[in-house]
Amino acid sequence: MVPLYCEASVIGDVVRGLRERFSHVVCVDDGSTDASARAAQDAGAVVVRHAVNLGQGAALQTGVAYALRDPLTRSVVTFDADGQHRVEDAAAMVRRLHAEGLDVVFGSRFLDRRTELDRLRRLVLRAAVVYTNRTTGMRLTDAHNGLRVLSREGAATLRIRHNRMAHASEIVHQVGRSGLRWAEHPVHVLYTDYSRSKGQSLLNSVNILVETLLG
């Protein structure tokens, strides 16, 4: 499931890549003002649309609710629309979820050294992790990674109310409080010039920290 907002130039490739491993790809178009929805649909995704932009948290909640309408859904993958996640990582996380009887697998860019981050961005994201762990009782290494896999039970437990970046900490809090079985899995996040310009700039990392503290 892919939350989508104004990613018309890359979403087609993202969906086609996912379709090589996953038979069902759902994009939640969060009020895009470009051709994102058409590009996603042409690439083979089912597109659910918000009439106005509500934020990534709201898009995730809509996508989870849509996926759970199908009684055959066994797990839900959340995957960013800008091309920074690897389909291979998502597939490995799904296999681990089912093999180990888990409810949630969180992707972590800090469990190995493949992901390249500048020092300041790394420090900001680490600070968000420290705060999230202290306030949720969890012990994660990466609290704001959009690549996750949820079992049906895990997905049904979520009630995401924070629409913006603070939703990531809210998900962690709900997982910790619910007693769901979880693990982290190393993933390689690809920071391209495009993904940095769309949402992975230092300013965005600071926004994540601020919204985490306020949330």
Give the chain as a 3 state SS string: CEEECCCCCCHHHHHHHHHCCCCCCEEEEECCCCCHHHHHHHCCCEEEEECCCCCHHHHHHHHHHHHHCCCCCCEEEECCCCCCCCHHHHHHHHHHHHHCCCCEEEEECCCCCCCCCCHHHHHHHHHHHHHHHHHHCCCCCCCCCCCEEEEHHHHHHCCCCCCCCCHHHHHHHHHHHHCCCEEEEECCCCCCHHHHHHCCCHHHHHHHHHHHHHC
pLDDT digits (tens, 9 = 90+) for 77-114: 999 999 999 999 999 999 999 999 999 999 999 999 99
What is the CATH number for 202? 3.90.550.10
Q: Please give the pLDDT value at position 204.
A: 56
What is the distance between the alpha carbons of residues 164 and 170, in angstroms, rounded to a whole number? 11
Is the pLDDT score of 214 beyond 80?
no
Phi, psi (5° rounding) for residue 149? -130, 130
List, in sequence order, every residue forming a beta bridge with 105; answer none if it has no partner. Answer: 149, 183
What pTM value is reported for the model?
0.89
CB count in 10 Å sphere of residue 34: 14
What is the distance between the alpha carbons of residues 208 and 166, in angstroms, rounded to a whole number? 7
* Listed range (4-18, 41-55, 159-173) with the worst mean pLDDT: 159-173
Is the pLDDT score of 162 beyond 70?
yes
Is the pLDDT score of 169 beyond 90?
no
Q: Please give the pLDDT value at position 155.
A: 97
Q: Please give the pLDDT value at position 91.
A: 98
- What is the average pLDDT value for the chain, to the nearest integer? 90
List, in sequence order, every residue forming a beta bridge with 75; answer none if it has no partner. Answer: 151
pLDDT digits (tens, 9 = 90+) for 119-160: 877 887 888 788 888 877 889 999 889 999 999 999 999 999
How many separate domains does the chain show? 1
CB count in 10 Å sphere of residue 171: 26
Of the candidates 169, 184, 195, 185, the residue with the CA atom closest to the CA atom of residue 117? 195
Domain that holds residue 147: 2-214
| Residue-level length of the chain | 215
pLDDT digits (tens, 9 = 90+) for 21-47: 999 999 999 999 999 999 999 999 999
